[in-house]
Amino acid sequence: MKIGFIGLGIMGKPMALNLLKSGHELVVYDIEAGNVGILTAAGAASAASAKEIAQECSVIITMLPNSPHVKAVVCGENGILESAKRGTVIIDMSSIAPGVSREICGICEKQGVKMLDAPVSGGEPKAIDGTLSIMVGGSKEVFDQVKDEILGKLGASVVYCGKTGAGNTTKLVNQIIVALNIAAVAEAFTLAQKAGVDSSVVFNAIKGGLAGSTVMNAKVPMILENNYKPGFKLDLHIKDLNNAIETGHETGSPLPLTVLVMEMMQTLRAEGFGQDDHSVLAKYYEKLSGDSIG
């Protein structure tokens, strides 16, 4: 199948490579020529715009930073809808505001174009090995058409969550839990450090118990090594929490802990840590305590 892929960043690049490895024909577009070059070297064709991709492909995946980028690529000048044929399927795998997903989907439907919101969780490592968790909203019929042949090549878990916007709502739930979990881990291991107990010993002692989690197992080793190479950038998590807080306001859902962690993240971004991994939340506690966990 010929698939268009727009957005070849930290996540999009390995995802596109996995589609190539699975035997799909790919036409790619990104504003960074270097990212496009990596994909063309692996066998993909390139396009000069989203509009050009839509001329060639009936299934198009977008993996972009935030709501405005998706709206521009789909609905804007030289965007997908300028040339998309009726029946074209857009799978937006970006993490954006659920309300914007519904807005863009409504515009697409007026042109006979179908759209799924299908954000992912798992960060760069799981994007590379094709074991992402994928949360999908939109038409169940369209979901069934692309689940195994396309989404199943990118993720180990592909779950239909409901109508348009449900995928991104599920992703916001995920991002709240991840953010609060990292903050809890940083706070708890700061206590261990200040109390004079070896953090690596604490980690090994509790990781198999109720406190254990995928987040702790992934992030504590990074924190102990003082390694904040981004698997998922702090700036992107701030974007997700902004969308979560906005959605909370729209729906009347209280998010006091989310707001607190957001302020911690904003402080770190102001100090220049925005491009580091979100586990850099540990630095917030280092600043407060005057002691390093790692």
Residues contacting residue 241 through CB under 8 Å, at least 6 positions apart: 175, 176, 179, 258, 261, 262, 265
d(CA 89, CA 87): 6
CA 39 – CA 13 distance, rounded (Å) = 8
Active site residue 219: no
- Residues 6 or more apart whose Cβ sits within 8 Å of residue 290: none
Structure tokens at 97: 């505001």
Contact status, residue 158 vs residue 151, Cβ threshold 8 Å:
yes
- Cα 258 to chain centroid, rounded: 18
Buried b (16+ CB within 10 A) or exposed e, 139-148: beebbeebbe
Q: Which amino acid is at 293?
A: I
Helix (H), strand (E) at residue 33:
helix 33-41
Contact 79, 21 (CB under 8 A): no
- DSSP states along 98-153: HHHHHHHHHHHHHTT-EEEE--EESHHHHHHHT-EEEEEES-HHHHHHHTTTTGGG
Catalytic residue among 13, 114, 171, 283: 171
Instruction: Return phi, psi of residue 109, to 5°.
Output: -60, -30
Active site residues: 171
